């Protein structure tokens, strides 16, 4: 699976004080970062399966209302994978929990009527008598 963000995007989102795994040249190791980004993308897709297209990849572009939040969550989850669990702080654990909570919130919002897969638009109900509009609106719902 292609990661949600690239290694370059990930590195640009990190502060200078971030402790990242280094390669032999003393630079951040792109192979380990790429692996962490793939795993983070897997966690995101596990929470938001509607992101996948028919080929099992993330359908690009991600909807605008979710794009930046998902990129930040991907970077946070990857950074959590790259840092040592022994030296991880309480703040890092809380940030990880908050990232997962945000994924759950996005999924609830998406499933609740924001153009979800298998959902249909709401329509005005028209009564059968004389074509008089009823005026009631219904929230989007799953079509069975």
**Residue found by looking up tokens 């709401």 in the block:** 122
3-state secondary structure of 84: coil
Residue 2 lies in a domain: no
- Do residues 72 and 135 both lie within one domain? no
Q: 138 and 102 in one domain?
A: no
101 and 125 both lie in a single domain: no
Q: Residue 80 corresponds to which tokens in the numbers above?
A: 């959590």
Domain count of the fold of the chain = 2
What is the extent of the structural domain holding 134? 119-144
Same domain? For 47 and 93 the reply is yes
> How much is the average pLDDT of 73-90?
78
> How sure is the predictor about 113, in pLDDT bands with cuts at 50, 70 and 90?
very low
CB 18 within 8 A of CB 58: no
Are 3 and 41 contacting, i.e. CB atoms less than 8 angstroms apart? yes
Pick the range with the lowest mean pLDDT from 7-16, 68-77, 128-137. 128-137
Phi/psi of residue 113, nearest 5 degrees = 135, 5
């Amino acid at each position: 699976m292609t990661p949600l963000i690239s290694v370059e995007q990930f590195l640009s989102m990190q502060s200078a004080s971030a402790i990242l795994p280094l390669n032999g040249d003393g630079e951040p190791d792109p192979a380990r970062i790429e692996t962490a980004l793939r795993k983070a993308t897997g966690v995101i897709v596990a929470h938001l399966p509607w992101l996948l297209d028919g080929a099992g990849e993330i359908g690009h572009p991600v909807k605008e209302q979710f794009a930046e939040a998902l990129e930040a969550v991907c970077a946070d989850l990857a950074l959590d994978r790259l840092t040592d669990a022994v030296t991880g702080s309480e703040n890092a654990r809380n940030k990880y929990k908050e990232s997962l909570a945000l994924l759950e919130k996005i999924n609830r919002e998406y499933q609740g009527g924001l153009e979800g897969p298998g959902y249909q638009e709401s329509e005005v109900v028209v009564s059968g008598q004389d074509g008089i509009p009823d005026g009631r609106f219904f929230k989007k719902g799953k079509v069975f």
